């Protein structure tokens, strides 16, 4: 019986040997570790190993090995490179927002990296893709931001306030906010283009957009006379400063539209006073439409209504 028990124990021990061969004891950690999970002896070797999988499009293994390097050698130059390549992998897999996050990590944690300018350019391109309508999904779930382009363009400016891409990114940040009907915020960003980058090619376009935001604020449910007047003044200033600019034609159209709206408002006030039999006040407003807004479609209407009102007055005499 004892021989049988000893034989069984020996068989069990021998059978278990291959499993133990995959684990080693590390005095430093005081744990059994699977050699498969250990990094190479130095960051250079580990990076070369990880990069070899990246080059062969074995993305999951490459990600695992780059992350292994980040954990084992976080302060090495290869750590910055590994973080950069994690972003490259996310882009290869079509995960633009995750790629941006990985790239931004390089800037935040490894500002010494020689890839900073390249990364800013990559982030800018990602923001443009979202601005152009790229789906705002990540792993099938909605992203935690309304429009990633807002966040990313903002980061591009923050990462390099006076870099070559900053004026354009600042301007496009304003455009995205304007497209989201966040006009006050958009106007603020366009103002930054004008004040920070007055000599850039985007400054004059930003001036136009400031006026356009003011005009958009007047198109809501409530007629905002103050916003309308400000918008008209800004459009007029833009045309005066940039008479030959392509946007000046658009600005002049906006001025015409605003004047139409102002003329309509004055005409409606005149009609109100006329219905209230306050004819003197009605006459003042009809004349205002004729004299101040003669190029609008409301001037002939005001002239016709004024004539009718005067004819009625003559009959009474």
* pLDDT > 90? residue 3: no
Average pLDDT over residues 159-165: 92
Banded pLDDT at 225 (limits 50, 70, 90): low
For 254, the token pair is 């906006």
* pLDDT > 60? residue 220: no
The domain made up of 40-135+144-160 has a fold known as 1.25.40
For 36-45, 239-248, 263-272, which range has the lowest pLDDT when averaged over its residues?
239-248
Q: What is the pTM of this model?
A: 0.67
Banded pLDDT at 255 (limits 50, 70, 90): low
Please provide the average confidence, as pLDDT, over all residues in the chain: 81
Q: What is the distance between the alpha carbons of residues 15 and 261, in angstroms, rounded to a whole number?
A: 90
For 100, the token pair is 């941006």
pLDDT tens, residue by residue, 42-55: 999 999 999 999 99
pLDDT tens, residue by residue, 121-147: 999 999 999 998 876 554 444 555 568
* pLDDT > 90? residue 11: no
Domains of the chain by residue range = 40-135+144-160, 263-317
**pLDDT for the residue 310:** 80
Q: What is the distance between the alpha carbons of residues 273 and 271, in angstroms, rounded to a whole number?
A: 5
Banded pLDDT at 28 (limits 50, 70, 90): low
β partners of residue 32: 25
Average pLDDT over residues 303-314: 80
**pLDDT for the residue 136:** 53
Q: What is the distance between the alpha carbons of residues 112 and 125, in angstroms, rounded to a whole number?
A: 22
DSSP per position, 31-44: EEE-GGGSPPSSHH
For 109, the token pair is 């944690």
β partners of residue 26: 31
Banded pLDDT at 94 (limits 50, 70, 90): very high
Nearest CA to 102 out of 135, 80, 78 is that of: 80
């Amino acid at each position: 019986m004892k021989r049988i028990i000893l034989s069984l124990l020996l068989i069990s021990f021998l059978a278990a040997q291959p499993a133990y061969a995959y684990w080693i004891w590390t005095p430093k950690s005081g744990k059994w570790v699977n050699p498969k999970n250990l990094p190479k002896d130095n960051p250079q070797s580990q990076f070369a190993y990880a990069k070899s999988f990246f080059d062969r499009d074995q993305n999951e293994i490459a990600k695992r090995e780059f992350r292994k390097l980040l954990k084992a050698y976080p302060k090495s130059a290869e750590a910055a490179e590994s973080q950069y390549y994690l972003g490259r992998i996310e882009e290869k897999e079509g995960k633009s927002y995750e790629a941006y996050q990985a790239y931004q990590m390089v800037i935040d944690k490894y500002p010494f990296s020689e890839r900073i300018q390249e990364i800013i350019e990559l982030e800018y391109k990602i923001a443009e893709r979202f601005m152009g309508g790229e789906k705002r999904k990540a792993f099938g779930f909605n992203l935690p931001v309304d429009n990633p382009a807002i966040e990313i363009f903002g980061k591009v400016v923050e990462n390099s306030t006076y870099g070559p891409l900053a004026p354009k990114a600042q301007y496009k940040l304003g455009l995205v906010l304007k497209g989201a009907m966040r006009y006050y915020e958009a106007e603020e960003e366009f103002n930054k283009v004008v004040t920070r980058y007055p000599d850039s090619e985007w400054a004059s376009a930003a001036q136009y957009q400031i006026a356009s935001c003011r005009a958009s604020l007047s198109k809501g449910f409530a007629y905002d006379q103050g916003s309308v007047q400000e918008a008209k003044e800004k459009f007029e200033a833009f045309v005066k400063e940039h008479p030959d600019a392509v946007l000046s034609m658009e600005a002049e159209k906006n001025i015409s539209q605003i004047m139409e709206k102002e003329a309509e408002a004055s005409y409606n006030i005149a009609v109100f006073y006329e219905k209230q039999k306050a004819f003197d006040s009605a006459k003042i407003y009809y004349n205002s439409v004729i004299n101040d807004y003669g190029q609008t479609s409301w001037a002939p209407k005001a002239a016709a209504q004024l004539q009718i009102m005067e004819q009625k007055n003559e009959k009474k005499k």
